[in-house]
Amino acid sequence: MPCMSAAISISAVPAASAVPAIEVLQLSKRVADASAESGQLAILSGIDFTVAAGTTVAIVGASGSGKSTLLGLLAGLDTPSEGSVKLDGEDIYRLDEDGRAALRKRKLGFVFQSFQLLGHLNALENVMLPLELRGDAQARTKAEQMLARVGLGSRLKHYPKYLSGGEQQRVALARAFVTEPPLLFADEPTGSLDAATGESVIRLMFELNQERGSTLVLVTHDSSIAARCARTITIAAGRLA
């Protein structure tokens, strides 16, 4: 269900009895840069916030502000220079790379701007894959049901190159939600789509998220998409604005 937008309050925290879905403390990311006086470029600096379970959050900011880097750090796809990220109370950077991969398999679903479908697999096989990696004996049934839910029940055997951009993103949504992850991360999910197709995809994503009660964090430059979320985190020059 679309939610009214509100600026994030850094002092706002979930109820004391609840473990936040996401807890970020003094998160920073620097990379080597010979042109910088210090020899390093600060991409993110001193980021702090918490996200309650079931919340929808938009991360917004200008191009190059660090918002996609932040999403990657939240997912454990990159490592910070300093700080910590806890998902459901578990500090992901106390885990090694294999441990973080296992955590992502258990807890996270992803939707990317470029869809990230496997070209040699058809729609059904793309959606079945994360279930099969878990050893789910009902992978085919669950994938078929999920593709029907996103309106692609008649396109199960179509390969990505034979699907439109909107259809590919629907397959990506089905793949992200089919494992019923408690956390869903989306990086510019409509960035490769025209306005009308993007609207239908984003509406579907929010419907699926409401049905499953997951925590949704999405990066977007689109203010109308951000306005659907319960909270907005604005990043400017690598810092919370």
pLDDT score recorded for residue 33: 80
Q: How confident is the model at residue 38 (pLDDT cuts 50, 70, 90)?
A: confident
For residue 3, is pLDDT > 80?
no
pLDDT value at 11 more than 90: no
Summarize pLDDT for 162-214 with one digit per residue, the tens: 999 999 999 999 999 999 999 999 999 988 899 999 999 999 999 999 999 99
What local confidence, expressed as pLDDT, does residue 7 receive? 39
- Selection from 49, 13, 45, 56 nearest residue 186 by Cα: 56
Number of other residues whose CB lies within 10 A of the CB of residue 228: 21
**The CATH number, out of the four listed (2.40.50.140, 3.10.150.10, 3.40.50.300, 3.40.1390.20), of the domain defined by the range 54-67+97-240:** 3.40.50.300
Q: Is the pLDDT of residue 5 over 90?
A: no
Whether pLDDT at 14 is above 60: no
- Per-residue DSSP letters for the chain? ------B--TT----TTSPPSEEEEEEEEEEE-TTSTTSEEEEEEEEEEEE-TT-EEEEE-STTSSHHHHHHHHTTSS--SEEEEEETTEEGGGS-HHHHHHHHHHHEEEEETT----TTS-HHHHHHHHHHHTT-TTHHHHHHHHHHHTT-TT-TT--GGGS-HHHHHHHHHHHHHTT--SEEEEESTTTTS-HHHHHHHHHHHHHHHHHHT-EEEEE-S-HHHHTTSSEEEEEETTEE-
Kindly report, residue by residue over 113-130, the tens digit of the pLDDT: 889 999 999 999 999 999
Closest CA to 209 of 172, 169, 176: 176
pLDDT band at residue 32 under the 50/70/90 scheme: confident
**Is the per-residue pLDDT at 4 higher than 50?**
no
